[in-house]
Amino acid sequence: MCTISLNIRGIRQVGKLNWLKRICNKEKPTILGLQETKCGQTTDNLIDWFWVNSDFKFVQKDSIGASGGIMLIWDCNTFSFDLAIEGEFFLAIKGSWAGYDSEIFIINVYGPHSFSKKQRMWNELTSLINSINTPFIIFGDFNEVRNPSERMNCEFNQIWSDKFNNFINQTGLIDLPLGGKKFTRICEKRMKFSRLDRFLISDDILKIWPNISSKTLDRDLSDHCPIILRNNFFDSGPKPIRVFNTWLDLKDADKVIISAWSTPVNGNRPDCIFRNKLKNVKMELKKHSMQLDNLDSQIHDHLKATNEWEKIAETRPITETERLKWVEEKMLYFEKEKKKTKMLKQKSRIKWALEGDENSKYFHNFIKRRANKNNINGISINGTWTEDPNIIKHETFLYFKSIFKSNNLKSRCPFDNAPHLEYISPHDNLILESKFNEK
C-alpha cells in the first residue's frame, strides 16, 4: 500500500501539476490526498495529467473562494470505492483494499486556524470515528502540533496542543513516527518550522499492515512537504531475544536454565564466556516457551469447554467426574489468561498497566503503538534518509565502534581491568544463592 498526503497550496498554480506528476511516477501511490486545492469542480482531464494510469476515481470538497479545498484520488485497480462522506473540515471515503477482506475508511483532513473551529473539528472527527467499525487512516494538514519540539521559531499554544493530544488519546489513535525531515511546513521568509502534517491510524491497521511507516518527501513548490505512508518489510536479520517473566513460570524452567548454563561455550575472555552463556540460556528458554505460542487459542478452547460444561449442568445432573473436568477447564482458563496478562503488562512497560485495566482499548493500543515506534524503518545519514537495512546496520556498527574505540586494549574488557569495582565476599555469595527460609 502507498498513500501520499500533500498540502498543495493551489493545484492549478504554475508547476504544481508537473510536481504531482513527478511524485506519482516515482512513488506510484494507491491513494493521494490533497489539501488546499484552491479550486472548484475538477475534471478527469486535470487528474489524468499527473496520475500514473487512466483507471482512477476521485472525490473533492470544493474550496470557499480562493481558500481551502480537499481532494482524494485513488487507483481503482487496488482500492474499491464504496462510500464518500464530506465534513466541514474533512473528506472521507470507504472501500476495500485488494487482497484484504476488511473495509477501510480513508479520511483526509484540512484543519482550521481558529481555536473554536479546531474544537468543532475534533468533535466532528470524534463523532465519525465512534461510528466507524472498520479500520481507518486519518491524514492531512491538521494545523496543530502535539508538543513544543514540533515547532521552531514560532509560537506554541499549550491549550491547543492539549486539545489535539486529548483527541488522539480518547479515540485510541496511533500517531506514526515520521521519518525524513523533522518538520513538514517551512516558512522561508521568517524561518518558521512546524510539523503540521501527519498520519494517524486505528490499531486495526497494524493487523493488516504490520510494517507500516511514514516519512516526508522532498519539498518543492509548496511550503508543505509531501508525507507518504507505506507498508515495507525490512529484513534486518535476527532480532534480539527478550526474556518474558512467564517463561520462568513454565514447568521445568529452572532445569532448562541450569542445563543451558552448564553447557560449555567458546571464548577466551570472561566477558565473552558470560555473553555466550546468557545467549545459550535465552535460546533454550525460547524453545521451552513454544508452548505459549498458541496462548490465545488455548484460552479460547478452555473457555469454550467451560461454557459447554455449564450448559450441560443446566440440563441434567452431572457426575463428580464431570464436575472435576469442569473445574479443571475453568482453572486452566484462568491460568492461561493470567499468563497472557502478565506478558501484556511486561510488553507495555507502563506503571498504569500494573495497576489494572489491562484489557482496556488504551492498554492494547499502547502496546501496538510502542511496538511500531520501536521499529527502525530508516535513518538520516549526513542529511540523506535511507531505508536500506544493510546501510543502517553498517552505520550503527560504525557509531558504536567509534564510542568503544580505545588505544588501551585492557579498557575494552570491563572484567579484566576494573579495580574500582567492588566485589562481594564468598560468604555473601553463598547467602545470595541459598534458599530462603523462615529465619
**For the segment 201-243, what is each residue's pLDDT rounded down to a tens digit?**
998 888 888 888 899 998 888 999 999 999 876 655 655 666 6
Return the domain boundaries, the chain. Answer: 2-231, 295-374, 379-433
In degrees and rounded to multiples of 5, residue 26 shows phi and psi of -80, -45
Cβ neighbours for 40, distance < 8 A, ≥ 6 positions apart: 62, 63
DSSP state of 240: P
Q: What is 2-231's CATH number, 3.30.930.10, 3.60.10.10, 3.40.640.10, 3.10.150.10?
A: 3.60.10.10
Question: Cell numbers 486452566 correspond to what residue?
Answer: 332
Q: Evaluate if pTM is beyond 0.75.
A: no
Higher pLDDT, 267 or 359: 267
CA-CA distance, 258 to 172, in Å (whole number)? 44
* Three-state secondary structure string covering 155-203: CCCHHHHHHHHHHHHHCCCEECCEECCCCCEEECCCCEEECCEEEEECH
Pull the grid cell for residue 333.
Answer: 482458563
Strand runs (DSSP E) across 295-408, as ranges? 379-381, 384-386
pLDDT at 278: 85
Each residue's pLDDT tens digit, 247-275 = 777 778 888 888 888 888 887 788 888 88
pLDDT at 415: 53
pLDDT band at 183 (very low <50, low <70, confident <90, very high): very high
The three-state secondary structure class of 262 is: helix
pLDDT at 239: 59
CA-CA distance, 97 to 208, in Å (whole number)? 10
pLDDT band at 164 (very low <50, low <70, confident <90, very high): very high
Distances (CA, A) of 367 to 147, 384, 405: 22, 30, 36
Check if the beta carbon of residue 330 is closer than 8 Å to that of residue 324.
Answer: no
Pull the grid cell for residue 429.
Answer: 555469595
How many alpha carbons fall within 13 Å on the CB side of residue 68? 18
Each residue's pLDDT tens digit, 411-421 = 555 555 556 66
93 has a pLDDT exceeding 90: yes
Each residue's pLDDT tens digit, 36-82 = 999 878 888 999 999 988 899 999 998 887 778 999 999 999 999 99
Closest CA to 110 of 224, 2, 212: 224
CA-CA distance, 259 to 253, in Å (whole number)? 10
pLDDT band at 2 (very low <50, low <70, confident <90, very high): very high
